[in-house]
Amino acid sequence: MHGFVNFFMESPFFLLFTLNVIILLTKAPARSKYCEFTTNITFYMKSQQISYSFIQNLAILSKKSAGFLNIFLCVSLLCGRLSADAQNFSQNDAKVQALLAQMTLDEKIGQMVQVDSGGIVDKGDVAKYYLGSVFSGGNSDPAAGNSPQAWLDEVNGFKAEALQTRLKIPLIYGIDAVHGHNNIEGAVIFPHHIGMGATHDPELVKRAEQVTAAEVAGTGIRWAFAPCIAVPQDERWGRTYEGYSDQPDLVAELGAAAVKGFQGEELSNDPLSVLACAKHFIGDGGTHGGKDQGDAECDEATLRRLYLPPYKAAIKAGVGSIMVSYSSWNGAKMHGNKYLLTQVLKGELGFQGFLVSDWAAIDQISPNYRTDVESSINAGLDMVMIPYGPGRQNNYVEFIQDLKALVAAGKVPQSRIDDAVSRILRIKYQMGLFDGDSTDPKLTAAIGSPEHRAVARECVRESLVLLKNEHQTLPLSKQLKHLVVVGEAADDLGMQCGGWTIDWQGRKGKVTPGGTTLLAAIKGAVSSGTTVTYSADGSEVSGADAVVVVVGEEPYAEMKGDRRNLDLSEADRALIAKAKATGAPVVTILYSGRPLVLGPALKESDAFVAAWLPGTEGEGMTDVLFGDTPFTGTLARNWPKSDEELAGLSSTAHSLFKNGFGLKN
Ligand code: BGC
Ligand code: BGC
């Protein structure tokens, strides 16, 4: 009792509570004044983002004194001022608890397991082990092919297996839809996040993810491992393009918009409400030297300042799942970090959804798998992403046996299992998965539709950043007599899309049907009197009225995309020099997953455009290059001048272009 009195007296809500009681006893005019007052308090709490601790306080209070809480809640609700910030996922908790009470330990552990479709040799294992989730990694396509229909059939097959179980708990299927539904043939590919960051347009980000959600739902899937809300600090990291910006506030704003795009205003049983997954918690973009899966070496204040705001915003936007990062914080793997996963994320930030691991990530905590299972689950992990099946190391059968043994030995408390499963079931109820989850064929048919492509085209348009434009080189006239286009990237859809496109690492060439390369878009944009000459190697440049040079990075994704040196390649520099030598105006377009060190290429170009990794809709580029719409994109990160700057040997004060830079034409 003494502790409670202390807590209560120290709580900032003591004042509110007392006022509530007094107000209950007063007359109408005073009540309305009071409403104004609580409104102000609520706004203050929102601006300070403290409403979650507020709810937490309430929860603690409620345990200690149900009577007080009731008065407090009733009055606040009567005044209509206790507006919860984030979506409350606990509305089905009675159902969740009732179901949980019927479940055996095997059934509970099964819910916590997510297996890669490629790791499940025998589909019957879904029912045999009561698997709660199946997913497809970047290279795990259905055996029947990569078409939307093949995906839908495969996903439905897995879902049907889960319904063979005693309790018929529906399965939730997950996939990386990180720039459109990018594993599926013919889906619209959006600009990677780095380009979306340059739009600075939350409304557009939201619409883009609405389209992605619709395409994901068209393959029977209701869970996207997106948005990535990393705040990449070092461009040498190969996942820089998966982050919107190096500024936490912008990432927070766009990440929250993306969550709303996927899930809708609220995560719900709407067939278009796709569970979002904010990733990778936390500090993935802050690893030393930009090393993938590396170590974020910083104090807690820095960790919180740079990397926590996007998670606060995502939770406020109602995100239902969060993926933990492969990386470490000051040498300790995030997957075993109870303080950050449980205390900060679930406690302080009030995250009510569930935490999923990254791909075989717990395996990295220690050399002993069983210990990894123990430390990660005890740290607060709710679902574990396991790519391997029987016959491989650390496969799902082994995981299940290990976790069962750990519970039997009292090393993982039953209460932790119950909490994890409750969180997963809560989301499944919230999404209406228990009421059947069939797919409208119209959604499948709309994958890659012109309407969807139009939204991606708009994103491309807004994402281009004009870095240089001498002599008003841009916009180009559609009436030019002879336009020369050079560079293999100009006619390479794979390079235009980057990593995480059809294949995990992406690939060069015609990676997916549909879409328009920049070359094709240019040919479609110019007048009938314009001759367009194209050579990948710049062998045909004579007689040009203008030369468009398209250069950039070849596709890559995590692990393989880290680079120590970010210089534009020798071949690309030579190509620009060759174009310059023609004497015609040179427009250089750069496809890259990050700013590159440009060297003389900038000087040798009359106009220079950072196009990032724009995706399949090349016409978004010609819209702007030929002046149908203006350049509006601006940098969402500093553009380094040199490799020394990247290595921290010279300060960003000397950056080539500062965050926010972008010419208008
Ligand atoms: C990546 C995640 C991704 C997961 C599933 C991991 O290697 O880090 O971003 O969601 O694989 O493909
Ligand atoms: C990725 C998967 C991918 C796999 C290939 C993982 O790290 O996350 O998406 O399929 O590697 O080995």
The answer to whether domain 90-445 has CATH 3.30.200.20 is no
Tens digit of each residue's pLDDT (9 = 90 or more) over 301-349: 999 999 999 999 999 999 999 999 999 999 999 999 999 999 999 999 9
Q: Of 630, 623, 479, 624, which Cα lies nearest the Cα of 546?
A: 479
CATH number given to 464-647 = 3.40.50.1700
Separation of CA 137 and ligand 2 centre (Å): 5
Tens digit of each residue's pLDDT (9 = 90 or more) over 551-573: 999 999 999 999 999 999 999 99
Q: Of 159, 265, 130, 154, which Cα lies nearest the Cα of 209?
A: 265
Q: Evaluate: CB of 138 within 6 angstroms of ligand 2.
A: yes
| Nearest ligand to the C-alpha atom of residue 279 | 1
The DSSP letter of residue 320 is -
Sequential DSSP letters for 197-210? HHHT-HHHHHHHHH
Q: Is the pLDDT of residue 60 over 60?
A: no
Q: Which residue among 358, 554, 606, 617 is the active-site one?
A: 358
Q: Are 128 and 118 in contact, with CB atoms under 8 Å apart? A: no
Q: Of 565, 562, 647, 596, which Cα lies nearest the Cα of 293?
A: 562
Tens digit of each residue's pLDDT (9 = 90 or more) over 111-149: 999 999 999 989 999 999 999 999 999 999 999 999 999
Structural tokens at position 277: 């997954």
**Given the structure tokens 């997954």, which residue do they identify?**
277
Helix, strand or coil, per DSSP, at residue 401 = helix
**What is the mean pLDDT of the segment spanning 591-602?**
97
Tell me if residue 604 is catalytic. Answer: no
Q: Are 175 and 183 in contact, with CB atoms under 8 Å apart? A: yes
pLDDT grade for 251, boundaries at 50, 70 and 90: very high
Which distant-in-sequence residues (6+ apart) come within 8 Å of 16 by Cβ? 38, 41, 72, 76
Separation of CA 171 and ligand 1 centre (Å): 19
CA-closest residue to ligand 1 atom 2: 358
Helical (H) or strand (E) element with 620: helix 619-625
Q: Evaluate: CB of 359 within 6 angstroms of ligand 2.
A: yes
Distance CA 619, CA 450 (A): 12
Structural tokens at position 325: 């990062």
- Partnered with residue 333 across adjacent β-strands are 328
Q: Is the pLDDT of residue 542 over 60?
A: yes
Separation of CA 399 and ligand 1 centre (Å): 19
Spell out the domain ranges in the chain: 2-85, 90-445, 464-647
The phi and psi torsions of 58 (rounded to 5 degrees) equal -60, -45
- Tell me the best of 176, 359, 503 to mutate to test the pocket of ligand 2, counting ligand atoms within 8 Å of each CB and taking the most: 359
Q: Is the pLDDT of residue 80 over 60?
A: no
Distance CA 244, CA 196 (A): 6
Sequential DSSP letters for 84-117? -SSPP-GGGHHHHHHHHHH--HHHHHHHTEEEEG
pLDDT for the residue numbered 10: 46
Separation of CA 136 and ligand 2 centre (Å): 9
pLDDT for the residue numbered 665: 81
Q: Of 329, 337, 371, which Cα lies nearest the Cα of 357?
A: 337
Residue 139: CB atoms within 10 Å: 12
Q: Which atom of ligand 1 is nearest to the CA of 280?
A: 9
Tens digit of each residue's pLDDT (9 = 90 or more) over 149-199: 999 999 999 999 999 999 999 999 999 999 999 999 999 999 999 999 999
CA-closest residue to ligand 2 atom 7: 359
Q: Is the pLDDT of residue 59 over 50?
A: no
Q: Are 485 and 525 in contact, with CB atoms under 8 Å apart? A: no
Distances (CA, A) of 255 to 215, 226, 463: 19, 9, 16
- Mean pLDDT rounded to a whole number for the chain: 91
Per the document, the length of the chain is 665
Distances (CA, A) of 145 to 139, 156, 213: 12, 15, 21
Separation of CA 177 and ligand 1 centre (Å): 11
Tell me if residue 270 is catalytic. Answer: no
Q: Are 41 and 13 in contact, with CB atoms under 8 Å apart? A: no
pLDDT grade for 653, boundaries at 50, 70 and 90: confident
| Nearest ligand to the C-alpha atom of residue 225 | 1
Q: Which residue among 558, 572, 604, 645 is the active-site one?
A: 558
Q: Of 92, 86, 452, which Cα lies nearest the Cα of 269?
A: 92
Longest dimension (CA), the chain: 89
Structural tokens at position 76: 């606040």
Hey, what amino acid is at 455? V
Distance CA 256, CA 174 (A): 20
**What is the mean pLDDT of the segment spanning 271-298?**
98
pLDDT grade for 42, boundaries at 50, 70 and 90: very low
Q: Is the pLDDT of residue 34 over 70?
A: no
Separation of CA 92 and ligand 2 centre (Å): 34
Q: Do domains 90-445 and 464-647 have the same CATH topology?
A: no
What's the pTM? 0.89
| Nearest ligand to the C-alpha atom of residue 239 | 1
The phi and psi torsions of 333 (rounded to 5 degrees) equal -60, 135
Residue 73: CB atoms within 10 Å: 15
Query: Pocket around ligand 1: residues whose beta carbon is below 6 Å from it?
Result: 137-138, 176, 225, 279, 358-359, 558
Distances (CA, A) of 450 to 65, 444, 515, 633: 58, 14, 10, 24
